Chains A and B, each alone.
Chain A
Amino acid sequence: MQSHVVQKTRLAMLAAACVALMAASPAHAADKIGVSMPNIKGPWFTPVLFGISDEAKKLGYEVTILDAGGYANVDKQVSQFSNLVVQKVSAILMDPANPASFNGVVREAKGEKIPVIGAGSPIVASNVDADAAASSSHCSIGHELAKGAKTLLPNGGTIAVLAGPPGAFWASDRLRCFKEDLAGGNIKIVAEQTSEQDPAIALSLANDFLQRFPDVNVLYGADDTYGVGAARAAQGAQKCGKVKILFAVLGEAAEEMMRAGCADYVVAQQPVVIGRTAVQLMDAIVKGKPLAAKKVEVPLIPVTAANLNSINKTGMQAPKGWTP
């Protein structure tokens, strides 16, 4: 009946209007840059994004941050990257969930003359070079972690490994170089398992390890999420200090655990510095200035309870309460 058609059309327009209302009208004032990350939250990505946002603001850029919601959502990240290319941003900073998947879209970006810079990753795609990259070498992290293991276990011992997200090259690189350094020595790895990058899952995995190997000496965490999970497990089992916790990245929670005596050796990266450096490199490229070096390695800082209070943490952590 007539009234139904009218009703339906009205509702359709209402729906369209709702969509429009929900849309944020972008202001096309400053230069826009895009940031594409696998994840947005967590002790790693938050400080990187802080570094990027802060530096970008200083230099007068508008930043669009897109995250895929997890390392598993590679296709989503590829899609989001594509979207940034279509928006013709001035540059894209990214950390690929899986470098092999980005060859096609990075080529597209280059085709549109959009520079692609690695932020927290030395590479952006397996077969296409990044225009620049700021990161810490994951292998170096692995070596530092090995140093830490030897420091904690001068007379040898056993380690259980929380290896990181399945298929994440940063985690596997770290572990590879870690193992290289320990080969032939008196430190043995008794268990090794990947898991999603989630604090609750890491805690559960660490508890599992403690159950299966009550006498294990060290728990290794691929990064802060895993390390803090392991530390909490040790805390819960009242084994702080008895089981040593070794991991990379010093976030807020990691710091707390160290002060509580439950985290023993952390190879701290400086994600904020990484973020800022990436932006600076980007700025240079966009403005046509020559680059001193295309790939910048940001130094690592080994942290223990001893030097916890004396090191400079501004390069490591975002200001309290900041969210991307």
Chain B
Amino acid sequence: MTLSTRTLSSDENRVKPLAFLQRYGREIGLPIIVLLMVIVFSINSAVFLSLPNFRNIGVSAAALAAVSFGQTFAILTAGLDLSVGAIVALVSIVGALVMREHGVVAGLAASLATGVAVGLVNGLVITRFKVFPFIATLAMMSIVSGLALSLSGGVAVTGVPEAFSSLAYARTLGVPIPVVIAVAVLAACIVVLRYTKLGRRIYAVGGNEEAARLSGIPIGAVKIAAYVLSGVCAAVGSLILTARVASGQPSLGVTLPLESVAAVVLGGVSLFGGRGSVVGVAFGVLFISILSNGLNLLNVPSYTQMMVIGGALILAVSLDQIFIGTKAGKGN
């Protein structure tokens, strides 16, 4: 006869509040830190707490936001998309070239198609050739960057229609269009992740790939979809940036791979996959954008800013470990 029986249910009840904090602590913590930052910067700079400045933050955050939401899909499947910066550059060139010859609508279509295409290649290399996402997307980054540079001859592509570039400075109801676009991307991502089968399967594949596979979920297709979505979001981010600089730039988005991963991790999405929400990523983006904006207003040199952002990332991830701990991360 063996000896083991469950403990009394009263103990289970006592465990619940801790479980609640563990589940949502990450989601409460970052917004609080963002709020603290806003307070600190408002005190130190007269112009921080002003509408023009918030619009500025919104516009400079918009592209990072779109790219980060896309990155979330890749990271949720326990992967990574390092090629997002290169996608932004390529889409910028392709979009500008097509817009110049065939008009804005054709250019938009071409841009999104480019994002899909690169995402598809990423996904295929990772699933068919079984290359680790880190390596696969790193290699694609090089290939796609080179493509952008050769298509553009290394020079900016000017002649982007005014109708398109003015969108970066236009507003509806006082909200800059880029911000509206970023919010629309956020809404779309929330819908996909929470209310579609694909979304739930993305979480399943990241959370326990073997369980998902044995439950009949087509792992390959799900991963490819995740990278295609990442490519599309990067394309949207690129369009926002391209409008802002009114030209196709072959080296646009160089800092985006690092910044988007930082935003995603800060937002509470686990690098092991299967856990986290895009709303958290939105706060991660806000954190980074408000931080750089505040530091800019205080005239902190850009090299120091790099150090601060890196330091903030380390801080945020170690808080995550202290608070949630490695065991929960491994899903025990």
Contact = CB atoms under 8 A, between A and B. Distances in A.
B319 A19 contact: no
Given A23-B295, A23-B300, A87-B297, A28 B322 contact: no
Contact of B246 (A15, A24, A103): A103
A24 B59 contact: no
B275 interface: no
B241 A26 contact: no
Contacts of B247: 74, 98, 100-101
Given A15-B312, A19-B294, A107-B169, A64 B241 contact: no
Interface stretch (B2-10, B40-48, B219-227): B40-48
A179 interface: no
Interface residues of B, number: 61
Interface in B29-86: 29, 32-33, 36-37, 39-41, 43-47, 50, 52-53, 56, 59-60
Chain A CB count within 10 A is highest, among B45, B59, B241, for B45
A238 to B, nearest CB: 32
A74 B315 contact: no
Contact of A86 (B50, B156, B291, B315): B50
A122 B323 CA distance: 56
B308 A8 contact: no
Contacts of B296: 66, 80, 83
Given A75-B252, A86-B52, A86-B53, A108 B244 contact: no
Interface residues of A, number: 53
Between B166, B291, B299, B315, the greatest number of chain A beta carbons within 10 A of the residue's beta carbon is seen for: B299
B288 to A, nearest CB: 13
Given A8-B319, A72-B254, A107-B169, A20 B40 contact: yes
Interface string A46-87: 000000000000000000101111001111101110110111
B245 A75 contact: yes
A16 B165 contact: no
B23 to A, nearest CB: 14
Given A24-B300, A85-B52, A104-B244, A11 B251 contact: no
B169 A166 contact: no
B158 interface: yes
Interface string B133-158: 00000000000000000000111101
Interface string A1-14: 10011011101110
A311 interface: no
A80 B56 CA distance: 10
B12 to A, nearest CB: 17
Nearest to B296: A83
Nearest to A195: B154
B59 A22 contact: no
B326 interface: no
A88 B308 CA distance: 25
Contacts of A100: 156, 158, 160, 245-247
Interface in A96-128: 98, 100-105, 107-108, 126
A126 B158 CA distance: 10
Contact of A5 (B21, B43, B158, B244): B21
B3 to A, nearest CB: 30
Contact of B45 (A19, A26, A74, A108): A26
A23 B36 CA distance: 15
Interface string B157-181: 0101000011011000000000000
A167 interface: yes
B260 interface: no
A66 B302 CA distance: 8
Given A19-B294, A72-B254, A13 B36 contact: yes
A82 B59 contact: yes
B181 to A, nearest CB: 16
Given A23-B300, A75-B252, A107-B169, A5 B156 contact: no
Contacts of A72: 249, 251, 254
A17 B291 CA distance: 13
A69 B302 contact: yes
A120 to B, nearest CB: 19
Interface of A: 1, 4-5, 7-9, 11-13, 15-20, 22-26, 28, 64, 66-69, 72-76, 78-80, 82-83, 85-88, 98, 100-105, 107-108, 126, 166-167, 194
Given A8-B319, A16-B39, A74-B156, 12 more contacts: A4-B322, A15-B315, A16-B36, A17-B40, A19-B37, A72-B251, A75-B253, A87-B297, A104-B168, A104-B169, A107-B169, A166-B155
Interface of B: 18, 21, 25, 29, 32-33, 36-37, 39-41, 43-47, 50, 52-53, 56, 59-60, 153-156, 158, 160, 165-166, 168-169, 241, 244-247, 249-254, 291, 293-300, 302, 304, 308, 311-312, 315, 319, 322-323
23 contacts: A8-B29, A15-B312, A16-B36, A19-B294, A19-B295, A19-B308, A22-B308, A23-B41, A26-B298, A68-B302, A73-B251, A75-B244, A75-B245, A82-B59, A87-B47, A98-B158, A98-B245, A100-B246, A101-B244, A101-B247, A103-B165, A105-B169, A166-B153
